Amino acid sequence: MGTLLRIKRLVLRGCVRFTEQARDEMDRDGLNAGDVAESIVNAQSIDKTPRSRGRWRRHAEEKLYVIKSFSYNGTLIYTKGTIVREEDHEVFYIFVAAKIATVGN
């Protein structure tokens, strides 16, 4: 199974966690969890996959997934997160979720 499909399935099952930073960014941009979920489900590809360097990383090789896609109302959203194993299931942790400024905004 491809990574994007795995992430989409986690989102559709509600296996998503937002960091406080992501929630602050969403509040600032007028986004809610549904907007972010819609953009991930609509995504055609993962934009890039850098290695984590943040203080919240669980191990040195943790991959981050950057997704840029539109919500159902046409808002272009930037999401960065990672897949984490919690007990007996996986969760997609979102560290950044914000609107992408577009021409005319």
User: What's residue 62's pLDDT?
Assistant: 83
Which pLDDT tens digit goes with each residue over 47-90? 998 876 665 555 567 899 999 999 999 999 999 999 999 989 99
User: What's residue 41's pLDDT?
Assistant: 97
Measured between alpha carbons, how far is residue 25 from residues 4, 85, 87, 89 in Å?
Answer: 23, 25, 28, 27
Count of beta carbons in the 10 Å neighbourhood of residue 20: 8
Residue 48's H or E segment, with its range, is none
Measured between alpha carbons, how far is residue 22 from residues 36, 53, 61, 97 in Å?
Answer: 10, 17, 22, 5
User: What's residue 60's pLDDT?
Assistant: 60
Q: What six digits make up the tokens of 103?
A: 């021409």
Q: What's the CATH number of domain 3-99, 3.90.550.10, 3.30.2310.40, 3.30.2320.50, 1.10.287.3510?
A: 3.30.2310.40
User: What's residue 92's pLDDT?
Assistant: 97
Report the predicted TM-score, pTM, of the whole model to 2 decimal places.
Answer: 0.86
Percent of the chain with pLDDT over 90: 78
User: What's residue 51's pLDDT?
Assistant: 78
Looking at the DSSP assignment, which residues form a beta bridge with residue 94?
18, 81
